[in-house]
Structure 1
Amino acid sequence: MKERQPTLRERRRSETRGAIQKHAVRLFTQHGYDAVTVAEVAAAAGVSAMTVYRHFPTKEDLVLVEQPARAIAERVAASSAADPLVRRVGGALIDAAAALTGGRGAGPVADERFLLDCLRLMTSTPALRARHLDSQHALQQAVVDALAVNTADDDALFDAQAATGACLAAMHTALTRWAEDDGETELPQLIARALAAAFGDGAATTG
């Protein structure tokens, strides 16, 4: 089945959203998150404040990167149910990081500098740290849903939640090191290393 191509309106909406977010992250990085207003972001992007809020309901949303959550969940759903939970989740995390940053020969779909700036803002700004925790919780739920375990089986659900939470904790450690190193080491490699340290080499195997 041929994949549906985005309409012109959808492409323009995506381009506007991306431009707003890049201007916002640039201003936040240069001047500090708390010092920059939504009106200033709108002026830099050449749009109205109403347009900013149409794409980003809150100021915190301007720093969130949504695509990884979707990409990770899709990869988990496509993984073999016969594989161990940690391998399914860990492999999806590595593959999604590779696609996002251009690692493993994949074409980058986001600017690495932009991702590093978003990560630093998330970890250094109190208001954003709280939002980051919310997004991590939502990601964990999305991954658990993608694992498609029998939710009526309390033990299976618990195992899925525990495995996912542990893998995401390993990924967070890798992301922190990636930001500290200013992206010097490839992110997929760092995630694989963190997963291997926590669970053994098998967790870093991808399809």
Structure 2
Amino acid sequence: MTDRPVQGLRERKKAKTRALIQKEALRLFREQGYTATTVEQIAEAAEVAPSTVFRYFPSKEDLVLVEAYPTFLDALREVPQEMGPIAAVRAAALAMLEGRSPEEVADGVEREKLMLSVPELWAASLENVGRTLRTLQETLAERTGRDVDDPEVRNVTGAITGVVVAVWLEWSKDSSMDVPAELDRALAHLEAGLPL
């Protein structure tokens, strides 16, 4: 038996509509380019009204950006408290990444390439990284019983984020990369003190 609440029909329909809109947007961005694709074209492909697209995605950039950290934070909260911060992040990241389907991985690669190649998306992505950084810092502070603005919590959070961003940038250039394995190696190297 699970503790998760069962989604009602309305919530499931909303989730399906949201996923369909995003899937069609990514397809059109791939085929036509991000700039050449309009919200009206996305709405038509998803068989919804443009206002429906904006209800789920307030801006065109939001069609590409994904807030991964709620899923990651759920995984991080399930990691035993006695694990150090880097080990805990490694375990949570692997749990989150290994749970993805091949289609989710392919969509992720597509989104990452778009975010790094379209200036508007790059700017929005940096804002997303900033929010994720702050949320990770808050979560690690909570796990360790320290103040969120503790310089050591900030430093550990920054080091973890730096390693993750470095892997992310590599992945955007080499979509064949085994991201879970590479991320785990990178975080293990960080955990070992970054010996050269």
> Percent identity between the aligned chains?
29
Q: Is the 8 A contact 2:116 2:172 kept in 1?
A: no
Structure 1 unaligned residues grouped into runs of 5+? 101-107, 203-207
Q: Is the 8 A contact 1:93 1:171 kept in 2?
A: no
Partners of 2:148 and 2:56 lie apart in 1 by 39
Matches within 5 A, 1:39-188: 39-66=40-67, 68-100=68-100, 108=101, 111-147=104-140, 148=142, 149-150=144-145, 152=147, 154=149, 157-182=150-175, 184-188=176-180
Q: Does 1:17 pair with 2:10?
A: no
Q: Which has the higher contact order (CA 8 A, sep 6+)?
A: 1
One-letter amino acid of the structure 1 residue matched with residue 23 of structure 2: K
Give per-residue Cα distances to partners, 1:58-82, cap 9 Å, x unaligned: 111000122x211211122222333
For these two proteins, the number of residue pairs brought into alignment is: 191
Give the deviation of 1:153 after TM superposition.
7.1
Q: Is the 8 A contact 2:28 2:37 kept in 1?
A: yes
Which residue of 2 is the match for residue 198 of structure 1? Answer: 190
Q: Is the 8 A contact 1:120 1:179 kept in 2?
A: yes
Partners of 2:169 and 2:85 lie apart in 1 by 24
Partners of 2:60 and 2:121 lie apart in 1 by 10
Which residue of 2 is the match for residue 205 of structure 1? Answer: none
Q: 1:132 to 1:153 in 2, by over 3 A?
A: closer
Q: 1:160 to 1:99 in 2, by over 3 A?
A: farther
Structure 2 unaligned residues grouped into runs of 5+? none
Partners of 1:65 and 1:192 lie apart in 2 by 21
Partners of 1:63 and 1:153 lie apart in 2 by 30
One-letter amino acid of the structure 2 residue matched with residue 7 of structure 1: G
Give the deviation of 1:164 after TM superposition.
1.9
One-letter amino acid of the structure 2 residue matched with residue 71 of structure 1: T
Partners of 2:80 and 2:25 lie apart in 1 by 39
